[in-house]
Structure 1
């Protein structure tokens, strides 16, 4: 019998799970006995912290936060010390960070200010989806072993929050290809095995400066089909699974030995138009595509209580959110707009996505494609593998694309300030006036003033119809009842070092 793509991925995902959980990883050693078995809904394709294609990839970030340290960490709504014990701003353009003393990398080497400088330079040198975050950082220098001084090109209020994404590795390894598969960091876990898109195996690093993790390791298999992953959770083959789609929560809730923890997340669905490719160069066409959609009905039917319809280009839980008037569902107005744009007979285009991007991705895509067909727009679906999607996304080789995105830092600077500048050119949209607003927001120290600037940016992005923002998701975690110390994370990147059994 010939297997379809989804069936094949389900079987290979289960096989990977069985291999990883059974005691031997495909590349390297398995996590130790008694490890946490955690399954995230997207595959991990690379572990290099400076890989251009995975710089903000959610699945990779989950693992990177376990393996590497950052100078600053987020604890709920607060920024707290990480490798940096303290920091202060000295003048408008200078920040000084004092590093913890006695911190060691997994290979035994000492963590010094020179490593931090090398990592910042590598991050700036590699063009990636993070590049916009570091554009105004002119330099970093090591003032001794434990002091790092950052110089910025003008005021930069967002430096501390951006540093939650600067992963620190030994200076000699910043460009080492081995970091893709067996990286060295200073985090609470070290990598013992990794097969891309299949499994990650981690062992506890007992020399971690913050104290050893509660469990001896973490095994992270990728299970392509959510239903198979839920079965593995219920059977005890995995301990933790996320995100659980809203339409499958009933398969987890109420089942003996399993519980659900949920949190309004910083994760949301978006569909970008390639604004540099006709016909999406015309904002009338982009607005028509939005007016064709009954998003209230689509989101309600698909996600129920698992999502809310978005009212801005970022979720309401993120700093910088400012509610915008929703586009009314009006197919007649959409057809008139297309006619006014010189497209009375509609047009043909494409939309790409990868199924594992988020819950019900295929169903959401199909709902939108069906609605567009009613206004004369024929959309050819392109459901592709994640690695190909990433390559095409970064090369702007698409007409429309559907994805989930997570505001990893909880701050609008990460999404609005990083994605929508002309220099970033993430979706072919260029607006010099918006560039000025976003630059001002990134430099502003006053919280209320920053909020007003991001509100202005929200309005511009929304009214220019740069994309469609259908749903902000609630992330549901399914976990075995004997797990303690687990806190659901709004950015889908929970701290697993504190999790224990019993």
Structure 2
């Protein structure tokens, strides 16, 4: 219903909805609360280049940005760059352990139980060029987190092991032990095009194909709508995909969604097919959810982070830094750590 109908506009009235182009809002003079300062026009779908040029020219007051924009914006007259802290939605590459027979792209040569083997999942994690992704694509605005609690969330253990450095020798050894080196394989990864997700997929491709194992990674970069359709499948008909985590304020939401064998992605991806001890993982997550003592709860999450390092269900490319860009004439601009992009609090902004 809400894809085609207005459902509450708060301090604004909706004056135009030009689908695929823009949304225009005007101040609602009879709003019960604090009135908005300015009318709003939200431009939809500009490419990164158009966004950057529009911001530099003053056509846009603020744009949706990520660390890859910094080089094109830094030093621009009248533009302020905000770059502090980390988002709580790490960019991750999913491993599918629940692939239907005959569903993979015809070019893929991996078996449907490919990611059931923890040696394979660990090999992928060791092979990835983390420094290349953080220092290159993210411009240094990023860090790493364990499986699966981001920095900044209760329960994050800075002493927990993380995959944060490429180790090609270890990756080759693990692929060899798993029986995939030097024989090799072809695998596809689906991602949205023209963003950090595609970049992460390309870094994965370069990393794996640099091994002496005859590996080919096919990056299927598609339009957002096409990716969303593929990502919404259950079961998913691809071995891997790239996206970011949903942002949450509590650790249970992360471990339940992204690690529990009976959680959202645990069911879709078939985590129980690969965990060494799926029952223990589930029991620890369930125990932490109802634990009232904060120290005891943190200790459970710490145990999980250590255990899941050796049994990873994801490849976490990086925890993206918070980056935003806006014209210096804006007043009242604030960053929301749970959604550090232009949000719905436009009513707070003035010039």
Scaled to the shorter chain, the TM-score interval is 0.7 to 0.9
Superposition TM-score, scaled by structure 2 size: 0.81
**Is structure 2 residue 350 aligned with structure 1 residue 500?**
yes
> Do residues 332 (structure 1) and 169 (structure 2) align?
yes
Question: What secondary structure, in the 3-state scheme, does the structure 2 residue paired with 1:387 have?
Answer: helix
Moved more, 458-467 or 229-238: 458-467
Classify 1:241/1:330 alpha carbon distance in 2 versus 1 (closer, same or farther; 3 Å).
same
> Would the aligned equivalents of 2:192 and 2:223 in 1 still touch at CA under 8 Å?
yes
1:279 is the counterpart of 2:127: no
Cα distance per residue 1:461-485 (max 9 Å; x no partner):
3321111112111122111111101
The structure-2 alpha-carbon separation of the partners of 1:256 and 1:309, relative to structure 1 and needing over 3 Å to count, comes to same
User: RMSD between aligned alpha carbons?
Assistant: 2.4
Task: Write the distance in 2 (CA, Å) between the matches of 1:382 and 1:284.
Answer: 25
Determine if the alignment matches structure 1 residue 402 to structure 2 residue 242: yes
Q: 2:217 aligns with which of 369, 379, 387?
A: 379
- Is 1:221 matched up with 2:43? yes
The count of aligned residue pairs is 319
Is 1:290 aligned to residue 112 of structure 2?
no
Matched residues in 2 for 1:415 and 1:267: separation? Answer: 10
Residue 454 of structure 1 is matched in structure 2 by 301
User: 1:363 maps to what in 2?
Assistant: 199
Residue 190 of structure 1: CA displacement? 4.8
Does 1:435 pair with 2:256? Answer: no
In structure 1, what is the Cα distance between the partners aligned to 2:11 and 2:117?
A: 50
Q: Kindly indicate whether the alpha-carbon contact (under 8 Å) linking 1:205 and 1:212 is maintained by their aligned counterparts in 2.
A: yes
Tell me if 1:486 matches 2:333.
Answer: yes
Residues 63-94 of structure 1: CA deviation (Å, up to 9, x unaligned): xxxxxxxxxxxxxxxxxxxxxxxxxxxxxxxx
Alignment CA distance shift 1:364-1:239 (3 Å) = same
Structure 2 vs 1, CA of residues 418 and 203 (structure 1 numbering), >3 Å: closer, same or farther? farther
1:346 CA drift (Å):
1.9
Gap runs ≥5 in structure 1: 1-176
Distance 2:172 2:321 in 1: 34
- For residues 161-176 of structure 1, what are the structure 2 equivalents within 5 Å? none
Aligned equivalents of 2:306, 2:205: Cα separation in 1? 26
Say if 2:256 is the partner of 1:420: no
Give the SS at the match of 1:490.
coil
* TM-score, structure 1 normalization: 0.58
> 1:350: how far off?
0.6
* CA distances 1:95-114 after superposition (whole Å, capped 9, x unpaired): xxxxxxxxxxxxxxxxxxxx
The structure-2 alpha-carbon separation of the partners of 1:219 and 1:274, relative to structure 1 and needing over 3 Å to count, comes to same
Alpha-carbon distance, 1:284 to partner? 0.9
CA-CA distance at 1:191 after TM superposition: 4.0
2:124 counterpart SS class: helix
- Does the C-alpha gap of structure 1 residues 284 and 206 become closer, same or farther in structure 2, counting only changes over 3 Å? farther
Report runs of 4+ in structure 1 exceeding 6 Å deviation: none
Higher relative contact order (CA 8 A, sep 6+): 2
Q: What is the aligned partner in structure 2 of residue 256 from structure 1?
A: 77
Aligned to 2:313: 466
Shift of 1:390: 1.6
Taking structure 1 as reference, are residues 322 and 355 closer, same or farther at Cα in structure 2, changes over 3 Å only? farther
Shift of residue 447, structure 1, vs aligned partner:
3.0
Does residue 27 of structure 2 align to residue 180 of structure 1? no
SS at match of 1:484: coil
Which has the higher mean CA deviation after the structures are superposed, 364-373 or 186-195? Answer: 186-195
- Aligned counterpart in structure 1 of residue 141 of structure 2, from 306, 327, 333: 306
